[in-house]
């Protein structure tokens, strides 16, 4: 029986980088190491152009039925003026919310070969391996009210609502502590308790959870602004960082540049385990966006998308050995000096196209 992958290439460079993942999935199927059935759908601007919505109900149902969803990227200037409710990002947010994917894992690993492509000095990032655990279905992204109202005096008022309940903080905290136990056993929790009530509660719940269930894990708290500063000052101090939806969004973009390029970072968005089936819903996507400036040129870096597929193998299918093979193939390709334009740094190597990079990684997989 094959694993059902629901593939959403989306917009911009999305289809270009996703094509490289399909090659690898098909190679594994042919090789017999695992069997994947790929079904494709539309999300973001692509879905809007076809159906007038950011994702159709039919594609939501397919996503719900799949063993894992792979999504590349959504958005672009073409859809800057479509109504807010059907803007491309709404498709991604609906997937996260309706599939209850509350835990977003964003690892930032600096491959030694890329340490010079980082904007920080080599010794600060060489060997970096941290994990941002971002809460993904709550906070200011989804809190109500969320609106712009007319005050009737020529003024408008915009309102977003930051809201967290105990259970939301507890379940994301648990994910972070459990991950830390399999890593270097340290969790840094981050909020703004000095100005936000949601930060006060976040801090209390994480501390209580630690004391009751995870006293063996090292826990520290850092205010989100200070953590941003520490991320660029001494990033190797971190193991697992757990934070809310908005801070996690910001801090993971910062973390990505430590690794050399936004084109390198994968992510996994996970739901809870179903008590009956033992399965969990999951969506895998790169941290980068649709990069409209380079879309259609065939020069995008497919590594974050390929590594996201690697995370699917690890977290959805328990195929850790196959995921390791992907990680090694990426590392070996980089060790050979092969680069797409975004990770070229100051070197004079001729950058590879998206397809060439995908093929080079595939060749490493075929070799080992």
Q: What is the binding site for ligand IPM (CB under 6 A)?
A: 89, 92, 249, 287
Task: Give yes or no for a contact between 176 and 139, defined as CB atoms under 8 angstroms apart.
Answer: no
Residues 115 and 108: their CA atoms lie apart, in Å, by 12
- Asked if 249 touches Mn ion (CB under 5 A), the answer is yes
Residue nearest to Mn ion (CB): 249
Question: Which is catalytic among the residues 225, 293, 318, 324?
Answer: 225
Is 59 a residue of the active site?
Answer: no
Find all residues with CB under 8 Å of 148, minimum gap 6, and list them.
Answer: 156, 157, 158, 159
Residue 92 contact, options Mn ion, ligand IPM, none, Cβ 5-8 Å cut-off depending on partner type = ligand IPM
Q: How many residues bind Mn ion (CB under 5 A)?
A: 1
Q: Which is nearer to ligand IPM, 266 or 302 (CB)?
A: 266
DSSP alpha helices (H): ranges in the chain?
14-31, 45-51, 57-65, 88-98, 122-125, 166-181, 197-213, 224-233, 245-258, 303-315, 320-335, 354-367
* From the list ligand IPM, Mn ion, none, partner contacted by residue 21 (C-beta under 5 to 8 A by kind): none
Nearer to Mn ion (CB atom), residue 172 or residue 262: 262
In this complex, which beta carbon is closest to ligand IPM, that of residue 249 or of residue 364? Answer: 249
Q: How far is the CB of 136 from ligand IPM (least distance, A)?
A: 8
Q: Which is catalytic among the residues 11, 59, 111, 192?
A: 192
Nearer to ligand IPM, 60 or 287 (CB): 287
- Look at residues 297, 223, 235 and name the one whose alpha carbon lies nearest to residue 260: 235
**Residue 139 backbone zone (phi > 0: left; psi -120 to 50: alpha; other: beta):** left
Regarding beta strands 218-223 and 36-40, do their DSSP bridges make them parallel or antiparallel, or are they unpaired? unpaired
Shorter beta-carbon distance to Mn ion: residue 118 or 267: 267
Closest separation in Å from C-beta 59 to Mn ion? 22
Choosing from 3, 48, 111, 141, the catalytic residue is: 141
Is-catalytic flag, 129? no
Pick what 364 binds: ligand IPM, Mn ion, none; C-beta below 5 to 8 Å, kind-dependent: none
- CB 27, CB 362: distance < 8 Å: yes
Has 249 been annotated as catalytic?
yes
Question: What CA–CA distances, in Å, run from 339 to 12, 209, 297?
Answer: 21, 44, 16
Cis peptide before 260 (omega within 30 of 0): no
- Identify whether 126 is a catalytic site residue: no
Name the segment binding Mn ion (CB under 5 A); options: 15-23, 175-183, 243-251, 297-305. Answer: 243-251
- Strand-strand pairing, 103-109 and 266-273: antiparallel
- Whether 111 is catalytic is no
Task: List the single partner that 342 binds among ligand IPM, Mn ion, none, CB under 5 to 8 Å by kind.
Answer: none
Residue 364 touching Mn ion (CB under 5 A): no
Contacting residues toward Mn ion, per CB under 5 A: 249
Enumerate the active-site residues. Answer: 141, 192, 225, 249, 253
């Amino acid at each position: 029986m094959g694993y059902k992958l629901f593939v959403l290439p989306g917009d911009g460079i999305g289809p270009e980088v996703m094509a490289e993942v399909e090659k690898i999935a098909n190679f594994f199927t042919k090789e017999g190491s695992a069997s994947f059935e790929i079904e494709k759908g539309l999300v973001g601007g692509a879905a809007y152009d076809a159906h007038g919505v950011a994702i159709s109900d039919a594609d939501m149902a397919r996503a719900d039925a799949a063993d894992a969803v792979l999504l590349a990227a959504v958005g672009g200037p073409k859809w800057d003026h479509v109504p807010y409710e059907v803007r491309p990002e709404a498709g991604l947010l609906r997937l996260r919310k309706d599939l209850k994917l509350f835990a977003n894992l964003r690892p930032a690993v600096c491959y030694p070969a890329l340490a010079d492509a980082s904007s920080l000095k080599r010794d600060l990032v060489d060997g970096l391996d941290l994990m941002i655990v971002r809460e993904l279905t709550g906070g200011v992204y989804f809190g109500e009210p969320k609106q712009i109202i007319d005050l009737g005096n020529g003024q408008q008022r915009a309102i977003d609502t930051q809201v967290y309940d105990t259970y939301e903080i507890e379940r994301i905290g648990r994910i972070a502590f459990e991950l830390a136990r399999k890593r270097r056993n340290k969790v840094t929790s981050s909020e703004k308790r000095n100005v936000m009530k949601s930060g006060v509660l976040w801090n209390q719940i994480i501390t209580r959870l630690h004391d009751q269930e995870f006293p063996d894990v090292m826990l520290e708290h850092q205010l989100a602004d200070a953590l941003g500063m520490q991320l660029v000052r001494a990033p190797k101090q971190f193991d697992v960082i757990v934070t809310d939806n908005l801070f996690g969004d910001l801090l993971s973009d910062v973390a990505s540049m430590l690794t050399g390029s936004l084109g390198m970072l994968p992510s996994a968005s996970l739901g809870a385990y179903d008590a009956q089936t033992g399965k969990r819903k999951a969506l895998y996507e790169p941290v980068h966006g649709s990069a409209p400036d380079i879309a259609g040129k065939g020069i995008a870096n497919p590594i974050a998308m390929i590594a996201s597929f690697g995370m699917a193998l690890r977290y959805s299918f328990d195929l850790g050995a196959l995921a390791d093979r992907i990680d090694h193939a990426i590392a070996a390709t980089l060790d050979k000096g092969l680069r797409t334009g975004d990770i070229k740094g100051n070197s004079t190597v001729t950058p590879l196209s998206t397809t060439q990079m995908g093929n080079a990684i595939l060749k490493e997989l075929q070799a080992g």
